[in-house]
Amino acid sequence: MRLSQGRERPLTVHHLNQLLLISSIVLLVAVVAVRISSRSGLPGLLVYLGIGIAIGQDGIGDIQFDNAELTQVIGYAALVVILAEGGLGTKWTEIRPVLPAASALALAGVAVSVGVTATAAHLLTGLEWRQSLIIGAVVSSTDAAAVFSVLRRVPLPARVRGTLEAESGFNDAPVVILVVAFSTAGPVEHWYVLLGEILLELAIGAAVGLAVGWLGSWGLRHVALPASGLYPIAVTAIAVAAYAVGAIAHGSGFLAVYLASMVLGNAKLPHWPATRGFAEGLGWIAQIGMFVLLGLLVTPHELGDDIVPALVIGLALTMVARPLSVVLCLLPFRVPWQEQTLMSWAGLRGAVPIILATIPMVEGVEASEKIFNIVFVLVVVYTLIQGPTLPWLARTLRLGGDPGAADLGIESAPLERLSGHLLSVAIPAGSKMHGVEVGELRLPAGSAVTLVVREGASFVPLPSTVLRRGDELLVVATDPVRDAAERRLRAVGRGGKLAGWLGTDETQAGG
């Protein structure tokens, strides 16, 4: 089987059958591999890359694939989905306090990292300046997929996790601009022109993302769709539209999709658990497909001469460029040295640098295959080192976050004609709502618990009914008090029946 840039025979049903069989097997193997990677602490990207290499021309599958342009297009599309999933899961309460620090890391931090890494690549490995600058720009972006998948399994302080997640969502935009500028034929523009272009694209992307996210969330909150399964599709379509509009407007589509998704994710949309599950599924498919394709593109037997340069450049990036950029950018924010150390080590690389390394290949830059191989080896080796050791470093620095009480799973379904909402509330094992009587919830006037499902049986509760872990509640709320009812339920889930007096209540309604 061969997939390349040359003209091939038209795709037939027989080819489709083979493609579906291979794709389904790859997906099943990748799903099983998630369990292995989660136990070992490795990002799943390494397993997926391994699958791609295994079925490639140097592996057992003998699939020959060398279409860098197709890889770039599919990689961009997958990155849009990954950023959308990451934005939907980003909590505004964690991001808001660290926006200045994350923005500094995504802009000034990238500049420092590019300069130091490119200088090291030129002086230590003998690469030309243009090639060194491209490599420096490519590997200076932390990978959203790797950061989201690893950090959300490690209990960290909210400030550290929020800063790293926001940085990974923001820094793709300036890095893409730099890589394209360095890969374009002809001299690179003056630094101030390049800086102006970066700031303009970021401003356009931010404006588009916030506008599309706000309009989309407003529409979904005020229009009741006929089926709950339409909400995840609508949210995904809005996020992708934000990327497309931002890119067409000559702005940063990556920043637009991340910000739009973050607005949607914090808007308390109807049927939110189903939407999050749908987005996570799409995110997994995007990661698997993207990494397998990148594994197919690489040719392992050609990597030998590029291993040492990759290790040297990676060492300069990990031990010098990244820590220096973190220290300089966080200096005005008085971040403790322990958190700076962890952020320096948590600058995870993944698919994004490898995808960006296809840009010079598409542009025909001299020695672009060498650039791709160096980036590939660097990402694999240092992800193997950084990913598994991150939890250990967090414990050593005593930066383990407090998981706190488990939050409630609340799903909302609008009742458009009745001007009301049905809230489906699941009480998890760690919730402090366990042992609270229905009457002690003190829901705002206009809302009430109408049904409890316990161990497969449903009943109408009394005010004296004691709630238990594992219960599912059906709460009816009129439109004006819907948000207040949800805030009160979440407050009781965190603080128990005394939430209003303990300062954990998020609203005065019903209190």
**DSSP letters spanning 447-502:** EEEEEEEETTEEEPPPTTPBP-TT-EEEEEEEGGGHHHHHHHHHHHHHHGGGHHHH
Which segments of 124-227 are extended strands (E)?
none
The CA distance from 148 to 167, in Å, is 11
The values of phi and psi at residue 414, to 5°, are -75, 140
Q: Which residue has the tokens 């601009």?
A: 177
**DSSP letters spanning 364-402:** T-TTHHHHHHHHHHHHHHHHHHHHHHHHHHHHHTT----
Question: Three-state SS for 168?
Answer: helix
Any bridge partners for residue 437, and if so which?
A: 466
Per-residue pLDDT of the chain (511 residues; tens, 9 = 90+): 455 544 555 667 777 787 788 788 878 887 777 666 666 555 666 777 788 888 777 767 667 777 888 888 888 898 899 889 888 888 888 788 888 999 999 889 999 999 999 999 999 888 888 899 999 999 988 877 677 666 666 777 778 888 888 888 788 878 888 888 888 866 666 777 778 888 898 899 999 999 999 999 999 888 777 777 888 999 999 999 999 999 999 888 989 999 999 999 988 788 777 888 888 888 888 888 888 888 888 887 888 888 999 999 999 999 999 999 999 999 999 889 998 998 999 887 877 888 888 889 888 888 888 999 999 899 888 888 887 788 888 888 888 655 544 556 666 666 655 567 888 888 888 788 888 888 888 898 888 898 898 888 889 989 888 998 888 888 888 888 888 888 888 888 888 877 765 444 444 333 3
> Domains of the chain (ranges plus CATH)?
68-396 (1.20.1530.20), 409-502 (3.30.70.1450)
The CA distance from 230 to 350, in Å, is 32
**DSSP letters spanning 110-133:** HHHHHHHHHHHHHHHH---HHHHH
